[in-house]
Chains A and B, each alone.
Chain A
Amino acid sequence: MDLLEVEKVSKVFNQNGVPMPVLKEISFRVQEGEFIALVGPSGSGKSTLLRILNGLIPPTEGRVLYRGKALHSVNLDSAMVFQSFALFPWLTVLGNVELGLEARGFPIEARRKKAIQFIEKVGLDGFEEAYPRELSGGMKQRVGIARALAVEPKLLCMDEPFSALDPLTSLALREEVLMLWEDKSMPVNTIIMVTHIIEEAVFMADRVLVLSTHPGTLVADIPINVARPRDRKDPVLNEYSDRIFSLMA
């Protein structure tokens, strides 16, 4: 069975009383263990689609099935990583990472232990008591990732997770995300990542879904058949990038 089935999902927003179609009849499937990248020009509805996949907002038409069951509210088996990090500034790193566990009713000792384990996993040992504002952008996003992973989701949704970071930091963090994804001790094995950087999508993903704009429709679904670990400068990857770029232009 597919992990996720997206069936003719459309979304219409109301802007000052005028209906504005953002997504139109989008269908695709995601298998367990896949790394999917979602690319498209800005405003094509990538973030909207990701939120629908996660159950944060309902589609206007169509439906999303998770393990064969239609999604009606937030999918607690998945977690989200945001471009803006979306860390709670009044909670420490530990407090942020613990929050999802607290919501799941873990007793304090258990959730603390687990949170610290994931903070170490993203390389932030020693920063448990720091507040987000004391951290650099890269460290903030590590907290965002630790917070998402701590609830041990099957599916990880990331909305332009590296766009707010400087180039070097984002390169390093990409590699780390790939390592976490390949790490068999982590329950998370399926990732859907939104990005507008085509090279990033091609380098990281098994499949790249391309959205067009106004309204967003799925124009291509391109498997990247390149063995891992990949080399950023691999000319085959460049060919993929060029192809996707011409699809979007």
Chain B
Amino acid sequence: MFKDAKRRAVFGVTLLLLAGLAYAISRQLHFPTGKIELDTALSQLPYYAAYSLMRMLTAYFLSLLFSIFYGYIAATVPKAEGPMIAVLDVLQSVPILGFFPVAVFFFVNLFRGSQFGVEVASIVLIFTSMSWNMAFSTYESFKAIPNDLVEAADGLGVRGWLKFKKALFPICIPRLIYNSMMSWAGGWYFLIACEIIAIGSIRYHLPGLGSFLIESVESGEVWRTFYGLFVLILMIVLLDLFVWRPLSVWGEKFKYEFTTTATVPSTSFALQWYRRLRVARRWGRIKEIIGKPARALNPRRYFLPAGERLAQETRERVWIPLRRGLGYLLVGGIFLLIGWSFFLLIEGLAKPLPPEAGRIPGALLASFLRLGIAYLLALAWTVPVAFWVGENPRAFRIVTPIAEIGASIPATALFPFFILLAVHVLGGMNAAAVLLILTGMQWYLLFNLIGGVQNIPGDLKEAAKALGVSKWLYWRRLYLPAVFPALVTGSITAWGGGWNALIVSEYVVYRRETYAVNGIGAMLDRATYEAGDKQMMLLALITMVIAITLLNRFFWRKLYLYAVERYKIDY
């Protein structure tokens, strides 16, 4: 009980910290005006693709390092575990895109208005979209290391880096690969969003596929937009075939008997090619050549076993106090940060509320309705499709590849088309905003539902059919209850995606003309990009975070627990 209260306290403090920090760093806003030019010649397309890919890779490797480090510390330092996991919990439920404007201004200011600041901001944002689930996965994997394995390593005298490399880290690999694939797919969404926002709302040059897409639409060359989209999809599919699939098949060998991972493809033609090319052995040889001089420098080689003893003594005398010191420093730093953001928060909120603040509840409601409509639309097509797929295997073979391609297109890449639609066809943003949100929600639902349908035991279906139940009864008594847990899980992720989508879909700049609807996302965007009103920005952000947190705590989590308890098919 006490532990729970402590967790909740950390949760609250982290929220405050984030909000305060967001406010603190957005205190001086400068943004350039005027149009920036981006060359949309097709010959530039490869460069843009390379730029986007570089951004993704940088963010991904940062996430990888972060998640391994964070997961390891959280799993092995008992005092740090509780707070670190609570912080991760909060970070995971925050709408990341809401912080993009803040991040942009912070880094642009930090780098004195240079291009580099936007670049850093976009990488930071993609990083935040990738890291949390990866960190959770490493944490859980490290926690799951069987005690015997650790003792086997200790008993053999395996220590330090060797222990980490050979005895501990490998257990993370299968889940880390799986989560990397998820994060990588999600990363594209945020990457394209960053590039589009940068060029549209804040007028910075962030060369990449996203900016190419929006620029080519704005200059009326829609066919170029299609080229851009094609290159993007091609890149995503190739990376999947030649990097992620072989990796996930290769990762199977690291599975410990009792660890379970989500299903991964079990074959990969690319992996077979790599095996035939003996990639691993060649890499080993390269490492050998590079590593030789490094090993010659290793002092342990010359001082055996006295050097060994010295090393151990150094470790005990120096490293342990040093580590403790670092721990204290870190905790102190965090407390300072908390105090500072509290101060700023109070300072920011103590001012009389601006008149627009009265419109926040209305805006929140409008956004909520938009999310609700998009969610219902998504349900309306995914539930029957999932049912159809579950009932006949042929449909499964048709739908799966289509859905996989569809889901691999980051929804943000379609924004330029939706803007065209909104401006020229629908004559307003409202319908377009709902469509945009829908694209950010539907795939999560579809994949979870298909997974749920496939998990219905065949004998249950046959039993129902043998009883001669009508189609309606079959739906009500078997299909809906059986997929309910999957539906809830899918809905939670879909709403998470939806809140993020709000920020890019309620406020759009097209040909220097702003198209916006009344909503909390638009309010946040307007406060940052137009008015530079920090107080409003802070209020909108806090409102959103609180709404999401409350919804998660009091609706989705309850529903999830209920679903698991009531409808789990388990013999």
On whether A90 and B254 interact (CB within 8 A), knowing A84-B148, A103-B162, the answer reads yes
Are A82 and B304 neighbours in the complex by a CB distance under 8 Å? no
From 148 to 179 in chain B, residues with beta carbon under 8 angstroms from any chain A beta carbon are 148-149, 151-159, 162, 166-167, 170-171, 173
Are B304 and A99 neighbours in the complex by a CB distance under 8 Å? no
Are B257 and A89 neighbours in the complex by a CB distance under 8 Å? yes
**Is B555 on the interface with A (CB-CB < 8 A)?**
no
**Is B321 on the interface with A (CB-CB < 8 A)?**
no
Closest Cβ–Cβ distance, residue B253 to chain A (whole Å): 6
The residue in chain A whose Cβ has the minimal distance to the Cβ of B155 is A80
On whether A82 and B152 interact (CB within 8 A), knowing A89-B254, A90-B170, the answer reads yes
Are A90 and B253 neighbours in the complex by a CB distance under 8 Å? yes
User: What residues of B have a CB within 8 angstroms of the CB of A84 in the complex?
Assistant: 146, 148
Could you tell me the distance between the alpha carbons of A91 and B162 in the complex, rounded to whole angstroms?
Answer: 13
**Is A178 on the interface with B (CB-CB < 8 A)?**
no
Closest Cβ–Cβ distance, residue B350 to chain A (whole Å): 44
Q: Which of A51, A105, A131, A151 contacts B308 (CB 8 A)?
A: A105
**Is A79 on the interface with B (CB-CB < 8 A)?**
yes
**Is B301 on the interface with A (CB-CB < 8 A)?**
yes
Q: How large is the interface on B (under 10, 10 to 19, 20 to 34, 35 or more residues)?
A: 20 to 34
Could you tell me the distance between the alpha carbons of A74 and B255 in the complex, rounded to whole angstroms?
Answer: 28
Are B156 and A99 neighbours in the complex by a CB distance under 8 Å? yes
Are B170 and A151 neighbours in the complex by a CB distance under 8 Å? no
User: What residues of A have a CB within 8 angstroms of the CB of B203 in the complex?
Assistant: none
Closest Cβ–Cβ distance, residue B173 to chain A (whole Å): 8
User: What residues of B have a CB within 8 angstroms of the CB of A63 in the complex?
Assistant: none
Closest Cβ–Cβ distance, residue A108 to chain B (whole Å): 9
Closest Cβ–Cβ distance, residue B493 to chain A (whole Å): 31
Are A105 and B155 neighbours in the complex by a CB distance under 8 Å? no
Q: Which of A74, A102, A131 contacts B162 (CB 8 A)?
A: A102
> Contact flags (1/0) for B122-163 with A, using CB distance below 8 Å?
000000000000000000000000101101111111110010
**Is B300 on the interface with A (CB-CB < 8 A)?**
yes
Are A51 and B166 neighbours in the complex by a CB distance under 8 Å? no
Are B152 and A151 neighbours in the complex by a CB distance under 8 Å? no
Q: Which of B156, B167, B253, B304 contacts A131 (CB 8 A)?
A: B253
Closest Cβ–Cβ distance, residue B247 to chain A (whole Å): 14
Q: Which of A89, A100, A133 contacts B157 (CB 8 A)?
A: A100
User: What residues of A have a CB within 8 angstroms of the CB of B153 in the complex?
Assistant: 99
From 140 to 176 in chain A, residues with beta carbon under 8 angstroms from any chain B beta carbon are 147, 151
> Contact flags (1/0) for B246-263 with A, using CB distance below 8 Å?
000000011111000000
Could you tell me the distance between the alpha carbons of A157 and B345 in the complex, rounded to whole angstroms?
Answer: 60
On whether A99 and B155 interact (CB within 8 A), knowing A90-B254, A105-B304, the answer reads no
> Contact flags (1/0) for A79-99 with B, using CB distance below 8 Å?
110101011111100010001
User: What residues of A have a CB within 8 angstroms of the CB of B300 in the complex?
Assistant: 105
Q: Which of B149, B166, B255, B308 contacts A86 (CB 8 A)?
A: B149
User: What residues of B have a CB within 8 angstroms of the CB of A51 in the complex?
Assistant: 151
User: What residues of A have a CB within 8 angstroms of the CB of B154 in the complex?
Assistant: 56, 74
Are B158 and A99 neighbours in the complex by a CB distance under 8 Å? yes
Instruction: Please indicate which of the listed interface residues B157, B158, B167, B304 has the most CB atoms of chain A within 10 Å of its own CB.
Output: B157
Are B256 and A89 neighbours in the complex by a CB distance under 8 Å? yes
**Is A54 on the interface with B (CB-CB < 8 A)?**
yes
Could you tell me the distance between the alpha carbons of A51 and B148 in the complex, rounded to whole angstroms?
Answer: 11
Q: Which of B155, B166, B255, B308 contacts A54 (CB 8 A)?
A: B155
Are B148 and A86 neighbours in the complex by a CB distance under 8 Å? yes
Closest Cβ–Cβ distance, residue A66 to chain B (whole Å): 14
User: What residues of B have a CB within 8 angstroms of the CB of A131 in the complex?
Assistant: 253
User: What residues of B have a CB within 8 angstroms of the CB of A87 in the complex?
Assistant: 152
* Interface residue ranges, A against B (CB under 8 Å): 51, 54, 56, 74, 76, 78-80, 82, 84, 86-91, 95, 99-100, 102-105, 131, 133, 147, 151
* Interface residue ranges, B against A (CB under 8 Å): 146, 148-149, 151-159, 162, 166-167, 170-171, 173, 253-257, 300-301, 304, 308
Q: A56-B155, A88-B152, A88-B170 are in contact. List 5 more A-B contacts (CB 8 A).
A: A51-B151, A79-B155, A88-B166, A90-B173, A99-B156
